[in-house]
Amino acid sequence: MKDKILNFFKDVVKEMSKVTWPSREELMEQTKIVIIVTLIIAVFCWAVDTGISNILRAIL
């Protein structure tokens, strides 16, 4: 069991060395994109929710 655990962590270290990490600039750009898309989706959901609520209030 101990050998399996050690092999697992050795494999993790080996795989992590293969990872291509983004540069700081790439990371900042991708973060901005995620924040903007999240805000757009939030505003869309709010608008749809408000619209449906108003329609239901008008009907009821």
CA geometry: angle 39, 41, 46, nearest 5 deg:
95
Whether 1 is covered by a domain: the verdict is: no
Q: C-alpha dihedral over 17, 22, 24, 27, to 10 degrees?
A: -130
Whether 27 is covered by a domain: the verdict is: yes
Higher pLDDT, 48 or 2: 48
Q: How many domains does the chain divide into?
A: 1
Does 20 have pLDDT greater than 90? Answer: yes
Owning domain of residue 32: 22-60
Whether 37 is covered by a domain: the verdict is: yes
- CA atoms within a 13 Å half-sphere pointing along the CA-CB vector of 55: 6
**Measured CA distances, 3 to 9, 10, 13, 27 (Å):** 10, 10, 15, 37
What pLDDT is stored for residue 2 in this prediction?
Answer: 87
Report the chain's mean pLDDT, rounded to a whole number.
96
Whether 14 is covered by a domain: the verdict is: no
Mean pLDDT of the region 28-35: 98
Whether 51 is covered by a domain: the verdict is: yes
Give residue 18's pLDDT band: very low, low, confident or very high (50, 70, 90): very high
Whether 8 is covered by a domain: the verdict is: no
Look at the block and give the residue holding tokens 């750009």. 29
